[in-house]
Amino acid sequence: MYVIATAGHVDHGKSTLVRALTGIEPDRWAEERRRGMTIDLGFAWTTLPSGRRLAFVDVPGHERFVTNMLAGLGPVPAVMFVLAADQGWQAQSQEHWEAIEALGVDRGLLVVTRCDLMDPALAVEEARERIPWPVVTVSGSTGEGLDDLRRGLDLLISSLPPPDPHAPVRLWIDRAFTITGAGTVVTGTLAAGTLRAGDTLVLDGERVRVKALQVTEQSADEVTATARVAVNLRGIERDRAVRGKTLLTPDAWLETDVVDVRLDGGPVPREAVLHIGSASVPARVRPLTPHASPSPSTSPGTGVGVGADTARLTLAHPLPLRIGDRALLRCSGRPITSVLVLDVRPPALRRRGAAAGRAAELAPFADGDAGTRMPDAATVLGWRGAARRSELAAMGCDPTGLDVPGAGDWAVDPGQWTTLAERLRAIVAEQPGIPVDAARTALGLPARDLLEALVKSCPPLHLSDGRIDGDGVPGEVVGAVERLRAELAETPYLAPEAARLPELGLSRRTVALAARAGMVLRLADGVVLLPGADTEAARILAKLPQPFTAGDARVALGTNRRVVIPLLEHLDRLSLTRRVDDRLRVVVTGPGHDGSEEAGAHHD
């Protein structure tokens, strides 16, 4: 099935024409028929000469019902624009045409009606000044020209690009009602994807089940885009499924209340209404482009001038939007403004100059004809630094073929990856053996597996026991250790005072690097000996009468209390010594001892 919208001024014969083509009354409500105008959206369908099925969304034309008109135009790919020969171009003709242009609907058919009442030549001439589409002249009352119109519609829909049946579903609800024995039923235009009875969809953040489907009043187990579809929802109250809500494929859409957009079409007030699909949402407009200024028709601080080609919209409530979506901004008494969505997860604008910087990022997509270039996955990844591929897809950017660093579902911008690698090397140099989670937090990475992948990409860094180390020791560390070795050559347990260490080149960082490399023995802050000093100390202490005191150890090792206390505690941790009480220790193992009894035990 194909779906197109009708458009045009009130009482120009749209509904009469649809009724003549389809035999179906599109004005469903009694008030619509009584007043002779379409107030809400009407729907009808027919089969064309080619055998193709075509459904019409009959759009209301009265100025008071412009919101409904925008709801009808939003989801459809083409328009049948109706103009009465006896009335010509009117105010709502212009407004409908502006909405069509703003939504980027570039395929359609101009139909001049009531040719039985007046020569259509003048109306055709007026319309051709604005509308570049093929023209058909008809009379809905007499049937004149209807065959030509059917052939024209056949040609029109044959030129439409085929919808993607595998795309995620976003069905904008345009009507909802209750049927006794069935429950809540919603209708909408399925522009892409496939619906099946039994499907699980998301409505207003909650999962719902599709009980049954109908197309052109016929039950269907499966409906493929494009189609007018009625969806019977299981266990859903009528007041939850209202116009403007959406039925969505789970986990395939991001709902957002802040978007960055391109604006086309004249000045925009600070407060307006965003129209997309069947939704109408109040929005605050913040210009981003530095040269934007209030329009002459507004007082200072109340509007955004024509120069504001990029802006940030803050919506009254979230909508499922994607990059590349077309929408409209409308404020009573002002021209309609076209909106092209450029980012659905934009960064916060907290710093001075942040708005101008953001405008510069968006500038390549705000110049030239709207839609000629859109932010792709690589661009959006560059803005964000890191993102899940599934999130990029939900934002409207196909990540297929995106060859960038990352891990699992995560992707990282190459430039950001290089910066992260440099920062990681600096962190490990400053703090060798830093825990993985601490490094991840310091780098602001959203996932541990990203940090692990980053370590693998940064040789000689390596991961061991949940800590990150580097291979190789800088020359400055080697030199400092050599100076320490010379210092301790005669007195191996008389560690240099803390104030002396920097003179030897042993800064906190250097000591940490040397300790991680096994080149020094760090007993405490400011207490550093050479490696192996602990096991040699146990050998020396084993020769003392057992048990011994800290004072005995200090004398035997030729050191001071500042060194001997942390050294003995270190030997305790290694189980080379053991405390007997608060004062005394014994050596547990040592040279010449077989481990069967403690060193120093006397034999009879």
Question: What's the per-residue H, E or C state across 245-275?
Answer: CEEECCCCCCEEEEEEEEEECCCEECEEEEE
Give pairs for 533-536: CB < 8 Å, separation 24+.
533/492, 533/493, 533/567, 534/567, 534/570, 534/571, 534/574, 534/576, 535/576, 536/492
Q: Where in the chain is the domain with CATH 3.40.50.300?
A: 2-158
Residues ≥6 apart with Cβ < 8 Å to 591:
539, 542
Q: How confident is the model at residue 32 (pLDDT cuts 50, 70, 90)?
A: very low
| pLDDT computed for residue 589 by the predictor | 65
In the chain, the amino acid numbered 205 is: G
| pLDDT computed for residue 42 by the predictor | 55
Mean pLDDT of 269-283: 91
pLDDT at 156 over 60: yes
Mean pLDDT of 458-463: 86
- For domain 2-158, say whether CATH 3.40.50.300 is its number: yes
Mean pLDDT of 69-95: 80
Q: Where in the chain is the domain with CATH 2.40.30.10?
A: 170-248, 255-375
pLDDT at 150 over 70: yes
| Among 294, 283, 349, 346, CA closest to 318 | 283
Instruction: Look up the CATH number of domain 255-375.
Output: 2.40.30.10
| pLDDT computed for residue 80 by the predictor | 92
Q: Which CATH architecture has domain 170-248?
A: Beta Barrel (2.40)
Q: Where in the chain is the domain with CATH 1.10.10.10?
A: 533-587
| pLDDT computed for residue 3 by the predictor | 85
Q: How many helices (H) and strands (E) does the chain have?
A: 17, 34
| pLDDT computed for residue 237 by the predictor | 85
Share of the chain above pLDDT 90, in %: 53
The residue with greater pLDDT, 328 or 433, is: 328
The residue with greater pLDDT, 549 or 58, is: 549
- Looking up tokens 């579809």 gives 229
Q: What is the pLDDT of residues 228-268, one digit of tens each?
A: 888 999 988 888 888 889 999 999 999 999 999 999 876 67
- Bridge partner residues of 175 (DSSP): 187
Choice among 300-304, 526-530, 531-535 with the minimum mean pLDDT: 300-304
| pLDDT computed for residue 85 by the predictor | 93
Q: What is the pLDDT of residues 166-207, one digit of tens each?
A: 999 999 998 888 887 888 888 888 889 999 999 999 999 999
| pLDDT computed for residue 73 by the predictor | 55
| pLDDT computed for residue 369 by the predictor | 54
Q: Pull the structure tokens for residue 279.
A: 């939704």
Choice among 167-171, 176-180, 577-581, 587-591 with the minimum mean pLDDT: 587-591
Q: Pull the structure tokens for residue 190.
A: 């399925």
Mean pLDDT of 358-365: 91
Phi, psi of 220 (to 5 degrees): -145, 140
Choice among 23-27, 404-408, 440-444, 450-454 with the minimum mean pLDDT: 23-27
- Most confident of the ranges 91-95, 148-152, 273-277: 148-152
Mean pLDDT of 449-471: 87
| pLDDT computed for residue 75 by the predictor | 65
**In this structure, which topology does domain 533-587 adopt according to CATH?**
Arc Repressor Mutant, subunit A (1.10.10)
In the chain, the amino acid numbered 586 is: V
Q: What's the pTM?
A: 0.75
In the chain, the amino acid numbered 249 is: T
The residue with greater pLDDT, 389 or 366, is: 389
The residue with greater pLDDT, 240 or 71, is: 240
Phi, psi of 590 (to 5 degrees): 180, 175
The residue with greater pLDDT, 559 or 39, is: 559
| pLDDT computed for residue 411 by the predictor | 97
pLDDT at 300 over 70: no
Share of the chain above pLDDT 70, in %: 86
The residue with greater pLDDT, 569 or 19, is: 569
* Cα dihedral 231, 232, 236, 240 sign: positive
- Looking up tokens 């007046």 gives 118
| pLDDT computed for residue 346 by the predictor | 96
- Bridge partner residues of 177 (DSSP): 185
| pLDDT computed for residue 34 by the predictor | 38
Q: What is the pLDDT of residues 500-520, one digit of tens each?
A: 999 999 998 888 888 877 789
Q: HSE, CB side, 13 Å, CA atoms: give it for residue 311.
A: 31
- The overall average pLDDT reported for the chain is 84
pLDDT at 329 over 60: yes
Q: How confident is the model at residue 291 (pLDDT cuts 50, 70, 90)?
A: low
In the chain, the amino acid numbered 46 is: T
Q: How confident is the model at residue 463 (pLDDT cuts 50, 70, 90)?
A: confident
pLDDT at 566 over 90: yes
